[in-house]
Structure 1
């Protein structure tokens, strides 16, 4: 029996691809890394867990702060030092792109390509960036303080009347509530009942993470997106349909809810005509963000509508903010148990600025507290939210320190390796806010790099500082005790550690 034509074509194309990539690698000096299989490259060398540690160990083994691996025709370059990250991601615009993951960003599949996190560097990305920066720049954050203050106060009420709920559940509710109220003006029920919107959003975030992984062959062979749904191996399309429905519920739904609130208010209160203040309501009220006049007609066709910009930016603000906010709060609580002297000093600073009548924190004073700000910076550093940051992609071939970095390389910033660099952070495993007394010490790795730096950093910082201040005002944080009286020693663990 002869080989089917389609199989023969696939073999020929695959063989040519292997030859091409082998020749390309031989012709160019990539950063050092483990030797790869002639067919699969370094596929077996890719870490299955705790990748930040594995990459740091490879960096030491090859005595280079920049290493490379190849898998399925893709070049992966890992940056393990602050210097290499600054030199490439901060100073060179050609590193501002994102790698393509068709499963999540293609409109035929999950259709999440409108999120700024995934958008390629270009006119559409600039549109989205402008639409999110206007209402999230540092000077605009004051408008979100009331919602953040309310969420922090409600958390205190929950913690004081804890019942049989887990602490983690209360912290999850606070994280979600503080972001949803700021982004949409939407309030979760405080009685602990589940909210469908929250469930939809969490499922969509999980679907996004799943779709970005190597589990879907379409991410390596984009042409598979064209195969019919009934064909064997097309089950990824059913997953994509489920994600599109979740997108409708989790991103389109709350945006349309805010619009309806505005238009309902306009009908009833014609003089006002606004929903509760939020990122979405403010952005809608401000009108169009404007086009880039220098673009030609073909490029302008790539641009998004005014409402789509707001819709997708609001969705990414929640998706990117919920987990990170929760992780930093958990880190803070662990640190306060392990370092009571830090807790006492931070509390003293907070208590000196309380409202004289209510004896509660005042947001305008809290965000200016210098020691509490250093506690926040150290919380971000001590247990990095993303130990390996969101990948970048090169737009063209580049040279660095004698190495070639090919176009479309996947660039991974190893944040954990940077935060453990003793030349920058002496005694890195110790929680020491005073390491940031020197303003030149890097402190914002959690928010990404260069043109891709997260525009929500000021929102996140004020939200966390206000909540920290409330906790320090109302509670003393101590280690737990078992029923037999033995003290429970908290262990700071990374989010992806196997124990979690």
Structure 2
């Protein structure tokens, strides 16, 4: 092993001592630092943070140190929140202080986003999603569900691909007015997920690695290539849509809304390409993850499939569920909400960053702190969710549970749930996600029976409730299960619905323009 140069040891020691000195010097009078796990100066407690499922370790520390605690990681100040109340106190009530995002070290062209540009972009996205909601998302979640169900029943072993294909087709049509690009949107979405996930890139954990020159950094090389591919895709989508818009052939979409309001928005062409492009990338993997968790949950708890099917039979009869059925489907909505509580889509959450110093309950939170509303911990607050590790949709339907809300025509609802974030950084696509999950999961329950696979001796093959990926967007790993039509009539109806949608051009073939 090559010995570490003495000057490097001295340099690290001096940096660490300076970090401690500054930390002590800036504590305002009458305040105190948050509790947290002790660690070495500058590097903190990094040896105890697992690369896989680190959110579970952060939850364990919140059990030990309280619902808000701090930790230093390679010279950066991190604060973890394990309480929905505290998250709302800070990230919603004080959103002006907590609405920045920390720079993701592995991304190129990172800039501080809490500025006029970000506000302008957010205003446009808010207006776009509000209009999409008012237009019921062009009914695309329901229309595309017909194709999804037909393909799923033909090839259930391809369920992960088909779930991404469903969400990809919906967002491709909504964002670009063109279904052909769903595969490229999905590919770029996976690439971005790898770029921003701490478990995928060491440079996202150790910020100092960004100082390495390109020729010494495999992370920078990989990110440069990904960034160039993404930019080329966004610009190409923008150029195609602009040509269709100028010719009067662009379909109603987020792109068409951008062109109609471009002068008023103040955004240029590249900014517009990125705004719409990023909406597209954000709208695929998260929703598909919830679909996959539904398969797992129903294999483990088949009694809830029966309850949802009974409700669907009473409300929908011989037709697929539609978004307008939602007020009459509280059991289905309870299953959907419990899915994203039991296995949060982004369990470690995406952090906020403070733009100025703050004091909360006597604790000092300095400017530049990365604040993590740990979804895994928040969705396991025992005072709100008794027996939190158990998949139990009844907690949303029974008045004896703290999470119960009325009226059941409106609740349970996934809107504004912790899964979508907090404050000015909350996801603005909640209405679309709600529609996709209602008709997609509802459609599966209406048409199919899902159960554990059996071996040649008829014994059920066990499935793991905890075998999940460790990237920022978490999903259950590929599993075997049996999926069959509930009866011959429903199987025929699924095929008929798909064929009719093709005939009437509701469903657009992948190869069509």
State the TM-score, normalized to the length of structure 1: 0.80
Q: How does 1:380-395 map to 2 (within 5 A)?
A: 380-395=340-355
Q: Output the CA distance in 2 between the equivalents of 1:240 and 1:334.
A: 33
Asked if 1:52 corresponds to 2:52, the answer is no
Asked if 1:285 corresponds to 2:260, the answer is yes
Asked if the contact 1:387/1:416 (under 8 Å) is kept, the reply is yes
Q: Output the CA distance in 2 between the equivalents of 1:216 and 1:351.
A: 49
What is residue 45 of structure 2 aligned with on the other side? 42
Q: Deviations over 1:66-122 (max 9, x none)?
A: 121112221111111222212211211211111123541xxxxx3365xxxxx6222
What is residue 202 of structure 1 aligned with on the other side? 190
51-60 vs 24-33, which moves further: 24-33
How far apart are residue 11 of structure 1 and its match?
A: 8.2
Asked if the contact 1:385/1:495 (under 8 Å) is kept, the reply is no
Asked if the contact 1:204/1:250 (under 8 Å) is kept, the reply is no
Asked if 1:233 corresponds to 2:216, the answer is yes
What is residue 270 of structure 1 aligned with on the other side? none
What is residue 167 of structure 1 aligned with on the other side? 159
How far apart are residue 166 of structure 1 and its match?
A: 2.5
Look up the SS of the partner of 2:135 in the other structure. Answer: helix
Measured at CA, do residues 151 and 381 of structure 1 come closer, stay the same or move farther in structure 2, by a change above 3 Å?
A: same
Measured at CA, do residues 217 and 95 of structure 1 come closer, stay the same or move farther in structure 2, by a change above 3 Å?
A: closer
Asked if 1:31 corresponds to 2:41, the answer is no
Q: Output the CA distance in 1 between the equivalents of 2:154 and 2:202.
A: 44
Asked if 1:94 corresponds to 2:77, the answer is no
Measured at CA, do residues 36 and 450 of structure 1 come closer, stay the same or move farther in structure 2, by a change above 3 Å?
A: same
Look up the SS of the partner of 1:482 in the other structure. Answer: coil
Q: Which runs of 5+ in 2 are unaligned?
A: 1-5, 398-403, 407-411, 478-513
Q: Output the CA distance in 2 between the equivalents of 1:412 and 1:335.
A: 27
How far apart are residue 188 of structure 1 and its match?
A: 4.4
What is residue 462 of structure 1 aligned with on the other side? 435
What is residue 325 of structure 2 aligned with on the other side? 365
What is residue 375 of structure 2 aligned with on the other side? 415
Q: Output the CA distance in 2 between the equivalents of 1:464 and 1:253.
A: 30
What is residue 69 of structure 1 aligned with on the other side? 71
Q: Deviations over 1:291-319 (max 9, x none)?
A: 6xxxxxxxxxxxx42x4443222222232
How far apart are residue 136 of structure 1 and its match?
A: 1.1
Q: Output the CA distance in 1 between the equivalents of 2:308 and 2:131.
A: 23
| 2:455 paired residue among 474, 482, 487 | 482
How far apart are residue 451 of structure 1 and its match?
A: 0.9
Q: Output the CA distance in 2 between the equivalents of 1:161 and 1:315.
A: 31
What is residue 299 of structure 1 aligned with on the other side? none
What is residue 158 of structure 1 aligned with on the other side? 151
Measured at CA, do residues 464 and 15 of structure 1 come closer, stay the same or move farther in structure 2, by a change above 3 Å?
A: same
Q: Output the CA distance in 1 between the equivalents of 2:131 and 2:328.
A: 13
Measured at CA, do residues 456 and 126 of structure 1 come closer, stay the same or move farther in structure 2, by a change above 3 Å?
A: same
How far apart are residue 197 of structure 1 and its match?
A: 5.3
| 1:453 paired residue among 394, 404, 426 | 426
| 1:178 paired residue among 166, 170, 173 | 170
Asked if the contact 2:105/2:207 (under 8 Å) is kept, the reply is yes
Measured at CA, do residues 347 and 286 of structure 1 come closer, stay the same or move farther in structure 2, by a change above 3 Å?
A: farther
State the TM-score, normalized to the length of structure 2: 0.78
What is residue 320 of structure 1 aligned with on the other side? 282
Q: Deviations over 1:275-302 (max 9, x none)?
A: 22222223323444446xxxxxxxxxxx
Measured at CA, do residues 32 and 282 of structure 1 come closer, stay the same or move farther in structure 2, by a change above 3 Å?
A: same
Q: Output the CA distance in 2 between the equivalents of 1:102 and 1:48.
A: 17
Q: Deviations over 1:319-361 (max 9, x none)?
A: 22222111101112222333333223322333344487xx233
What is residue 248 of structure 1 aligned with on the other side? 231
Measured at CA, do residues 466 and 420 of structure 1 come closer, stay the same or move farther in structure 2, by a change above 3 Å?
A: same
Q: Output the CA distance in 1 between the equivalents of 2:314 and 2:257.
A: 34
Asked if the contact 1:103/1:212 (under 8 Å) is kept, the reply is no
Look up the SS of the partner of 1:206 in the other structure. Answer: helix
What is residue 241 of structure 2 aligned with on the other side? 258
Asked if the contact 2:58/2:80 (under 8 Å) is kept, the reply is yes
Q: Output the CA distance in 1 between the equivalents of 2:192 and 2:380.
A: 33
Q: Output the CA distance in 2 between the equivalents of 1:103 and 1:476.
A: 43
Asked if the contact 1:262/1:274 (under 8 Å) is kept, the reply is yes
Q: Output the CA distance in 2 between the equivalents of 1:390 and 1:37.
A: 25
Measured at CA, do residues 282 and 351 of structure 1 come closer, stay the same or move farther in structure 2, by a change above 3 Å?
A: farther
Measured at CA, do residues 94 and 211 of structure 1 come closer, stay the same or move farther in structure 2, by a change above 3 Å?
A: same
Look up the SS of the partner of 2:371 in the other structure. Answer: strand
Q: Which runs of 5+ in 1 are unaligned?
A: 1-6, 105-109, 114-118, 267-272, 292-303
Measured at CA, do residues 393 and 197 of structure 1 come closer, stay the same or move farther in structure 2, by a change above 3 Å?
A: closer
Q: Deviations over 1:192-249 (max 9, x none)?
A: xx94554344334423447994426994376x38x5x5xx525554334312321123
RMSD over equivalenced CA pairs, Å:
3.2
